[in-house]
């Protein structure tokens, strides 16, 4: 870790806790900052705040009092989930207090090389693959996955050395607070309409994503999805060397799928049929990871070894188990229509789809042709249940509404037939009923396990 003095004796406000806030507060405290943490959860139920107070860090809990900003803070480190429309953030900006997010702080102290991965979908799978590829057969240094993948990057940055690499999954929420962050290799998997309730409109969402390349130079690399026409225009905003990947073998792409093999610079690396993760979208994720890994000097043998055994990331079209001749998959990470679409398209078998969640007032109509073609029945829950049922009705697919993902499981088995796929792919965020998509997915898996135990004759 770099021994920077930037924050020595400077008053810094950490707004919002969770993993990123706790790690940012501790790192700032270590750097000699005068840290105040403000979290809306009451102190009595706030174990993170209690632990930070025990470490000698000032904590204010129970609300976000705007008047707190009258204390002459020089910096705000904002939890990525807190929108810029929040009154505290708005007040900080009005007072010209810089507002950053935890990955920006981590980058400032990091000795390691950085590979940054962003995009609407596929970030976690691509990040995981790159990390595995870099570590496969490596004799020096270590690749650490961190960031939006669930591991605070500020904690990793304190232990990673100059011989190491941080492969950081970066959400648009995190990138909106990036100032100096400068990955040597940046990856943009795709861009669709997402998080518009947070960013206000698509233009601001895209601008946040593009901050991953804002500090890159011609000596750096920007890996982009060349199958999306928008990327060709966005590439003009970057000073980096553009490295396109294409599932459709687009002209100019370096990582490509020729219909049989995954290739780099025209040389086959492995047959796509050898991939252990289903779906055409995972061909794209593999190509993005191949491009980043090859740019980082990884051998073809190491890439093949990883792709031949990787079976997926938890909550991302994760195979759970087979019960009563139904294959069950957990895709709780599908928090938007685009992610659910690629999951539905990944299977040839009839699907019983479990879907629903937070209503962000986005149309569900894009699911119509996929539901009509692939889905046998739907089980809906959450705020978007009525929207999904309307799409199902238009598609001529029966839909049953239930309370939550747990009660949806037995209904899904009732609606399915042997040989079907039971797929949790909500097409919506989890926050109307669950604290995060991980909890939603874990409860789904538990309910499937329970169903299997109660129906042993079906195994």
- DSSP letters, 185-205, are EEEE----S--HHHHSSHHHH
pLDDT at 195: 61
Q: Which CATH architecture best describes the domain 318-453?
A: Alpha-Beta Complex (3.90)
Give the CA distances from residue 285 to residues 53, 81, 223, 256, in Å, rounded to whole numbers and listed in that order: 42, 25, 11, 11
pLDDT at 277: 85
- The domain spans of the chain are 11-100, 103-309, 318-453
Cα–Cα dist 219/154, whole Å: 25
Cα–Cα dist 37/24, whole Å: 10
Distant-in-sequence, close-in-space partners of 268: CB < 8 Å, separation ≥ 6: 258, 261, 262
Place of tokens 């924050």: 7
Distant-in-sequence, close-in-space partners of 156: CB < 8 Å, separation ≥ 6: 106, 144, 146, 166
Would you state the structure tokens that stand for residue 138, as one six-digit string? 């490596």
pLDDT at 458: 46
Q: Which CATH architecture best describes the domain 11-100?
A: 3-Layer(aba) Sandwich (3.40)
- DSSP letters, 54-116, are HTT-EEEESS--GGGGGG--SEEEE-TTS-TTSHHHHHHHHTT--EE-HHHHHHHH--SEEEE
Distant-in-sequence, close-in-space partners of 203: CB < 8 Å, separation ≥ 6: none
Neighbour tally for 9: CB within 10 Å: 9
pLDDT means over runs of 10, the chain (459 residues): 95 95 97 97 95 96 96 96 93 97 98 97 94 94 95 96 98 96 98 69 93 98 97 98 97 97 97 90 96 98 96 87 95 92 92 96 93 98 97 98 98 97 97 96 98 78
End-to-end CA distance of the chain: 52
Give the CA distances from residue 383 to residues 364, 422, 431, 437, in Å, rounded to whole numbers and listed in that order: 13, 21, 10, 15
Cα–Cα dist 355/430, whole Å: 10
- DSSP letters, 120-180, are SSSHHHHHHHHHHHHHTT-SS--EEEEETTTB-HHHHHTT--TT-EEEEE--HHHHTT-SS
Give the CA distances from residue 251 to residues 231, 248, 270, 306, 366, in Å, rounded to whole numbers and listed in that order: 14, 9, 20, 27, 28
Would you state the structure tokens that stand for residue 321, as one six-digit string? 């188990």
Is residue 341 within 8 Å of residue 359, measured between CB atoms? no
Cα–Cα dist 7/73, whole Å: 12
pLDDT at 433: 97
CB crowding 391-401: b at 16 or more within 10 Å, else e: bbeebebebbb
Instruction: Report whether CATH 3.40.1190.10 matches the domain 103-309.
Output: yes
């Amino acid at each position: 870790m770099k021994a920077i003095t930037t924050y020595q004796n400077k008053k810094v406000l950490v707004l919002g806790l969770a993993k990123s806030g706790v790690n940012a507060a501790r790192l700032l405290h270590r750097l000699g900052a005068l840290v105040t943490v403000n979290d809306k959860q009451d102190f009595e139920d706030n174990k993170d705040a209690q632990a930070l107070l025990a470490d000698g860090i000032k904590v204010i809990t129970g609300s976000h009092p705007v008047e707190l900003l009258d204390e002459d803070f020089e910096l705000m480190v904002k939890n990525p989930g807190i929108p810029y429309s929040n009154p505290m953030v708005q007040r900080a900006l009005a007072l010209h207090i810089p507002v950053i997010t935890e990955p920006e702080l981590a980058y400032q102290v990091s000795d390691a090389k950085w590979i940054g991965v962003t995009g609407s979908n596929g970030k976690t799978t691509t990040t995981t693959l790159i990390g595995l590829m870099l570590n496969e057969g490596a004799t020096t240094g270590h690749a650490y996955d961190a960031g939006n993948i669930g591991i605070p990057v500020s904690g990793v940055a304190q232990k990673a050395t100059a011989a190491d690499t941080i492969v950081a999954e970066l959400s648009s929420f995190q990138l909106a607070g990036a100032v100096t962050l400068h990955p040597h290799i940046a990856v943009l998997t795709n861009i669709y309409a997402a998080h518009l309730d947070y960013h206000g409109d698509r233009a601001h969402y895209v601008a946040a994503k593009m901050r991953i390349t804002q500090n890159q130079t011609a000596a750096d690399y920007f890996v982009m999805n060349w199958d999306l026409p928008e990327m060709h225009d966005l590439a003009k905003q970057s000073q980096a060397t553009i490295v396109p990947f294409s599932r459709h073998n687009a002209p100019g792409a370096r990582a490509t799928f020729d219909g049989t093999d995954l290739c780099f610079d025209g040389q086959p690396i492995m047959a796509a049929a050898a991939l252990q993760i289903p779906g055409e979208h995972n061909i794209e994720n593999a190509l993005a990871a191949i491009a980043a890994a090859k740019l980082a000097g990884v051998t073809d043998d190491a890439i093949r070894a990883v792709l031949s055994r990787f079976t997926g990331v938890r909550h991302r079209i994760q195979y759970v188990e087979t019960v009563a001749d139904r294959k069950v998959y957990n895709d709780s990470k599908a928090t938007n229509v685009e992610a659910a679409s690629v999951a539905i398209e990944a299977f040839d078998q009839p699907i019983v789809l479990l879907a629903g969640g937070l209503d962000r007032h986005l149309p569900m109509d894009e699911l119509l042709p996929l539901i009509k073609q692939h889905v046998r029945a739907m089980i809906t829950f959450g705020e978007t249940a009525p929207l999904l049922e309307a799409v199902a009705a238009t598609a001529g697919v029966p839909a049953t509404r239930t309370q939550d993902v747990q009660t949806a499981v037995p209904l899904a088995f009732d609606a399915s037939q042997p040989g079907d796929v039971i797929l949790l792919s909500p097409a919506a965020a989890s926050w109307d009923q669950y604290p995060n998509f991980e909890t939603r997915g874990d409860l789904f898996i538990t309910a499937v396990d329970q169903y299997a135990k109660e129906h042993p004759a079906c195994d």
